[in-house]
Chains A and B, each alone.
Chain A
Amino acid sequence: MQTYDVAMIGAGHNGLVTACYLQRAGLNVIVLEKNDWVGGAATSRELTPGFLYSNCSYVCSLFRPEIMRDLELPRHGLQVIAYEGGAVLMRDGDYLASYRDHHSHRREFARFSRRDAEAYERYARDVTRQCRFIQPLLMRTAPDPFSFKPRDISELLYLARKFGEFSADEMAATLRFWTMSISDFLDEYFETDVIKAYLALSGIIGTALGPMSPGTAYVLLHHYMGEVDGSVGAWGYARGGMGAVTKALASSFQASGGVIRTGAGVEKILTRGGRAEGVVLEGGEEVRARLTVSNADVKRTFLKLVDEKDLPERFVHRVRHFKMRGSSGKVNIALDSLPEFPALPAGSTCIKGDLHFTDSVERMERAYDDWKAGRWSADPFLDMMIPTTLDPTMAPPGKHFVSTFVQYCPPKIEGRDWRDADRDGFAKTVIDQISAHSPGFRERILHMEVRTPREIEAEVGLTEGNIFQGELTFDQLLFNRPVPGYAQYRSPIHGLYMCGSSTHPGGGVMGAPGRNAAAEILRDLRRPNEHMSPAHDVI
């Protein structure tokens, strides 16, 4: 039987990134994917003829350009298209649009408040300063404050030095920013509800917190750290849907000699004497490997695939209490024609961006209250996009694919499992909200895929349907992610590594966890890492 150098559990984007780097470094890597397709939460699937759905993740910004370059993803078909902002459609018949043009953006805000229009400058400045501080940390392994190893100490000093570049005032502001709620943070700049609601959305997407929860200001940063070709904070569509990202990764991986096996779910990680030796597939087949890397989330990896007795008790305790509560759902819709939004002017570019219908922070927070009580939100927050307005490859001519991200949606309904009737009720809530702003929307629907945390967990394997493989609260960031003492992609089991979004720097289609994991693995193997170009400077 062949022994591989590396067995990768899961073909999500991070698993593929790690696999690509390791294969390029000369290792013999096999990627094992339980589904019949690759991609994890970055997929494009044809569930109804002629339509490609970005089933889970739906927009692209965070994916690191260094990785695209190193792994030659453009050559393997990846193309990211920037899009114009979008709009919040309001209950009073007005809307708040977001425009790329600086002055149009200001004048749009000034319709509501001249003060807010100008306050946006300072807001953007302050958030950008925080982004610039955080960005260089994405592609560095988080230091362990208690290892006292020279490398960790020097990394801690690096952090201290970076922080030290700030003036005392900026340091104080940074300390505040990290723990504030997005709602409180926005209150310091703006007075208009819809403007705050529009800006607050980045603080809650994918997060089991409401906009009034401390820590959500940081979550906002997590969504602002991306870029499209140097345009920081910009978002784009992957041409062909988010599956294009993982398709390009898979193609790059295979082109460098890697092997992917789909339909190969992993049952168990083989360990002997505290060492991982490969995996057992569902059905019993063993795949032997010198190293095993898990792209699955930390709970799935250590509570399902590894025998608890092989792990330190404290580690298991901490994994068990790592928070990864699902908070969102997804409704993917095939439409037979472009929906109409009478509130928007004819020919508006807004329809090419993200559309929202939540015009106050209070509505968002109330939506979160439903989640806390174990219900899907009666008045949910939607992030709706129509990628086919810019990408003709995803639907037949004239027809459209609509991706609707829905928050909040709990992993369990009042403590019990989801039922099909719940799912239908959830979908109805979503379509009702859209239809209120888009007459005839329901009649245009050709096909619909509804994904609650139940479906997300069952298909993608994300525990509790948490799209970030673990919440992005500060107690779960940096050296605490996913477990203190094991935040450097290694695990208590020799030869078993983590590379998914459960690890630093966390979720989103970013690829940074995968790349950082590859760097750590190659360091352990003492192999040169010449195919990894340095992280871009932030100047």
Chain B
Amino acid sequence: MTLTMRLRAQAHIETPRLETPFHPRLAALDRVNDWYNWAGYKAPHALDDTELEYFAIRSTASLFDLSPMVKYRIEGKDAERYLNRLTLRDVSRQKTGTVQYTAWCDDAGHVLDDGTLFRLAPDVFRLCCQDRHLPWLLDSAIGFDVDIREETEEIAGLALQGPTAFATLKAAGLGNVASLRPFQITTLPAPFGDVTISRTGFTADLGYELFVPSEHALALWDLIHAAGQAYGLRAIGYDALNRARIEAGFIVAGADFIGADIALRPGRERMPDEIGLDWLVDPAKPHFNGRRAILHARRTGALKHVLVGLEIEGNVPAEGAIVYHGRSREAGVVTAAIWSPTAKRNIALASLTRPFGTEITNDLWVEIYALRELSYQKMMKRAVIVPRPFVSLPRRTANPPGLF
């Protein structure tokens, strides 16, 4: 960086928390002033009532600002080959105009992060993820003709999720997304410029993610927000989204697993098979990072953990609870838990120590400590391993998408 650029950038300290490009609109709608720090950005836990925001996801439509998501643009002649070596899935089979959910590992086969990989053009990709990985991405590029650039600040993103998501887009003049199937991407013109839209989301519901250059963020928001008024659209914070994602059975870095490059304590890293991502690993494709270690662990039975979905009796969320086998032997820990309003069940994600969760799947219990008015209600509740997602809605994948 030049000296002039460096000197100009000194001013960053005046705003230790960045505001996203949508912030003026979020701030205007915000009623509860409940902000948190998402990767250095000011982001809302909730703008109003979390319960109401959750039901907007499931019964009308919700608008969530996902701009702080870290985004890398990867382009060049070797981009596909590069990403095929970097990530677990076969990128050579990913078509242009589609999105892949994927994950990537270090040499030891430990997951560094999961994220979504957008193939915007044959040689142009965007990788969205929770943590920052520039040094790893750059070091992985040694020997490849590929250019990697972080573009988190340049690209603004919105998640539009819920049964009336399509109706809202249609009303906004973006009805051409009708032909978009899940995990497909399209670029559509809007009055202010192009919008890149993918049929993806973190909610297990009908939904889209919309990306524009940051300077068009407010125009995009205004377009969608106005169009959505007739369809019950509501801006939401992370707490409501988090409920939907647990129902969807999705994992989150830092909560359900720790990225191998930030884990401080020996043994805290996880292999894909240990966090339910075994289905991403493609041993038939060419070499990829961690391949040798993952296959070796599979072959020798060295896998230590497994991630499972649990249904727990009763209605008290088991967040952070210890999982037992036969009420006495520790089998693991609950990483995320809620009472699911949509499934009407008490659900949880748990990291179990094998053979619990693999060979031993019955007689599991969770010990819940519920603090109620200065007293712990201590409960031992039966837990049953159930498949994920906990909530499966036909409208998520319906083609064409429904209007309501």
Contacts and interface: CB of A to CB of B under 8 A. Distances in A.
Physical contact A–B (CB less than 8 Å) = yes
B371 interface: no
Contacts of B266: 129, 165-167, 170
Interface residues of B, number: 31
Contacts of A117: 134
A113 B134 CA distance: 11
Interface in B262-311: 262-267
Given A94-B3, A111-B1, A101 B134 contact: no
A169 interface: yes
B264 A111 contact: no
A121 B132 contact: yes
Interface string B137-161: 0100000000000100000000000
B108 A107 contact: no
Given A118-B133, A170-B266, A103 B7 contact: no
A125 B37 contact: no
A122 B263 CA distance: 9
Given A93-B3, A125-B261, A114 B150 contact: yes
Given A94-B7, A112-B1, A167-B266, A122 B135 contact: yes
A350 B376 CA distance: 46
B10 A103 contact: no
A73 to B, nearest CB: 29
Contacts of B267: 165, 167
Contact of B264 (A101, A128, A345): A128
Interface string B3-37: 10111011111001110000000000000000001
Contact of B37 (A103, A119, A166, A170): A103
A121 B261 contact: yes
A450 B98 CA distance: 69
Contacts of B1: 111-113
A119 B135 CA distance: 6
A132 interface: yes
A233 B3 CA distance: 31
A205 interface: no
Given A108-B12, A114-B134, A170-B266, A103 B261 contact: no
A506 to B, nearest CB: 24
Contacts of A92: 3
Interface in A89-119: 92-95, 97, 99, 101-104, 106-108, 110-115, 117-119
B314 interface: no
Contacts of A118: 132-135
B188 interface: no
B39 interface: yes
Nearest to A92: B3
B12 A115 contact: no
Given A114-B150, A118-B133, A121-B261, A107 B138 contact: no
B108 A103 contact: no
Interface string B93-104: 000000000000
Contacts of B18: 103
A345 B7 contact: no
A106 B3 contact: no
Interface string B111-124: 00000000000000
Contacts of B134: 114-115, 117-119
B394 interface: no
Nearest to B108: A169
A115 B39 CA distance: 16
A123 to B, nearest CB: 10
A528 to B, nearest CB: 35
A166 B269 CA distance: 12
B355 interface: no
A115 B3 contact: no
A208 B22 CA distance: 54
Contacts of A107: 9, 12-13, 40
Contacts of B265: 132
A399 B90 CA distance: 67
Given A121-B262, A122-B135, A128-B264, A103 B13 contact: no
A167 B6 CA distance: 40
A106 B262 CA distance: 15
17 contacts: A92-B3, A93-B7, A97-B13, A99-B16, A103-B40, A104-B13, A106-B40, A107-B12, A108-B12, A117-B134, A118-B132, A119-B134, A122-B262, A132-B264, A165-B266, A165-B267, A169-B107
Given A107-B40, A114-B150, 8 more contacts: A104-B12, A111-B9, A112-B6, A113-B1, A121-B262, A125-B262, A167-B108, A345-B11
